[in-house]
Amino acid sequence: MKEYQTITEISGPLVYAEVDEAIGYDEIVEIETAQGETLRGQVLESSEDVVAIQVFEGTSGIDRDASVRFLGETMKMPVTEDLLGRVLDGSGRPIDDGPEIVPEERQDIVGAAINPYSREYPEEFIQTGVSAIDGMNTLVRGQKLPIFSSSGQPHSELAMQIARQASVPEEDEGDDEEGSEFAVIFGAMGITAEEANEFMEDFERTGALERSVVFMNLADDPAVERTVTPRMVLTTAEYLAFEKDYHVLVILTDMTNYCEALREIGAAREEVPGRRGYPGYMYTDLAQLYERAGRIQGREGSVTQIPILTMPGDDDTHPIPDLTGYITEGQIYVDPDLNSQGLEPPINVLPSLSRLMDDGIGEGLTRADHADLKDQMFAAYAEGEDLRDLVNIVGREALSELDNKYLDFADAFESEFVDQGFDENRSIEETLEIGWDLISMLPKDALNRIDEEFIEEHYREDDAEREAVEAAD
């Protein structure tokens, strides 16, 4: 292993060094400062005589007297089932005062793309316990479903709720209670120390940490480390899913901080910027992360992703949500207006979408009436939203009796279905029953999206008639 003292330039998080041999792209580097401190880095660009190295811990303390060693391998994540219950920093080192990790193997963090021919279509339900997701925008195993939020919204609380409550309801398999195990890999990038403490207190208080692996990159950690964190997270997830048969839910927050780190590195490399200063290759870079979700034929496990991003200026045409929406299979919107009304979680179901939902619900998965009920609630809530605008102009007295029922439905949908609190865990059965309670506020002849068989079985006719009698009295 050669050691060089040929640093020629330091620019932001990058160090440039002269070399006299071929150095591989992404190769891991150790830089020893004059003070004896050893820093880790990664080759970002390599030519015949100069390499650019991005330093994970930042370049403070590095000068021309520092020594550079190329280790001849790319960055690897030490993986083992014993990672469950552990807390690691953004580059995969334990920070929970626990014992040293003894890995079963070390895997390349870039990972290998899943062969499209070997992919299994995602179509099995994951229960998050959140009605606005389970009932209206269902998450299925192997899907990538981002949460679009904005600064100041309670997306962290929603992330904690999903991490705490998410489960895989297995089909009835007799007395076999083993089934497939479920794990959550939580990757935090650029969060504040206060947020980190909230996450850890919640994980420990609820016992969710026992089935989780937590990666923490804080706001005062080097931005370069943020480019490594999601790859560490996904390498761990793939190992547990495809080699240990876990159903793994990956939660990544905040992808905006990750993209800002890409922009910072691109500026240091003096690259030609793309939209709003972000690198032109950001679409490819995000796709490399998001496309690591999925299922593989012949393997029990699955990797499901929920990336969370805060849209700058609450603008969903911004490059980060825009590119994310192209790559992923839908989105969940956290709405500032619903948040200001005090709804928990403030999910706006109308612009939200789960493209794989229809294949993950129905008989044998959730319940036979789920799809019809969901369609009817979407239609009724959209009608109520439109009528709210009309009421502001003409008043409720000018509306028909049916229109007033749609308005009442929209109010009840938000207060009873969406607003459940961050601590309530609803089963899919409870979610659907609440949905039928609400849709029964409308007359039967208005339910034009539900099969007659389901209306006869679930419609709360007695309740509706009793309310009409009470209103008449």
Give the number of other Cβ atoms within 10 Å of residue 80's Cβ.
16
Per DSSP, the three-state class of 56 is: coil
Residue-level pLDDT at 206: 86
Say if residue 82 is exposed, middle or buried (CB neighbours under 10 Å; 0-12, 13-18, 19+). Answer: middle
Asked if 34 contacts 5 with a C-beta cutoff of 8 angstroms, the reply is no
Which residues share a beta bridge with 186?
A: 214, 251
Residue 79, CA distances (Å) to 21, 86, 143, 411, 418 in order: 32, 12, 23, 49, 38
Length of the chain in terms of residues written = 473
Work out the pLDDT band at 181, boundaries 50, 70, 90. confident
Q: What is the mean pLDDT of residues 226-238?
A: 94
Q: What is the mean pLDDT of residues 281-309?
A: 93
- Please give the structure tokens belonging to residue 71: 């280790």
Per DSSP, the three-state class of 440 is: coil
Say if residue 185 is exposed, middle or buried (CB neighbours under 10 Å; 0-12, 13-18, 19+). Answer: buried
Asked if 47 contacts 206 with a C-beta cutoff of 8 angstroms, the reply is no
Lowest mean pLDDT among 26-35, 55-64, 100-109: 55-64
* Cis, peptide link before residue 451, omega less than 30° from 0: no
Among 53, 91, 57, 59, smallest CA distance to 75 is for: 91
Lowest mean pLDDT among 175-179, 201-205, 317-321, 448-452: 175-179
Alpha-carbon span 317 to 311, nearest angstrom: 9
Which residues share a beta bridge with 248?
A: 183, 303
Per DSSP, the three-state class of 51 is: strand
Angle at 115 between CA 109 and CA 120, to 5 degrees: 110
Read off the pLDDT of residues 75-117 as tens digits, 9 standing for 90 and up.
Answer: 899 999 999 999 999 888 899 888 888 999 999 998 877 888 9
Asked if 296 contacts 114 with a C-beta cutoff of 8 angstroms, the reply is yes
pLDDT exceeds 70 at position 277 = yes
Residue-level pLDDT at 403: 92
Work out whether the CA dihedral 31, 33, 34, 35 comes out positive or negative: negative
pLDDT exceeds 70 at position 120 = yes
Per DSSP, the three-state class of 107 is: strand
Q: What is the mean pLDDT of residues 59-71?
A: 89
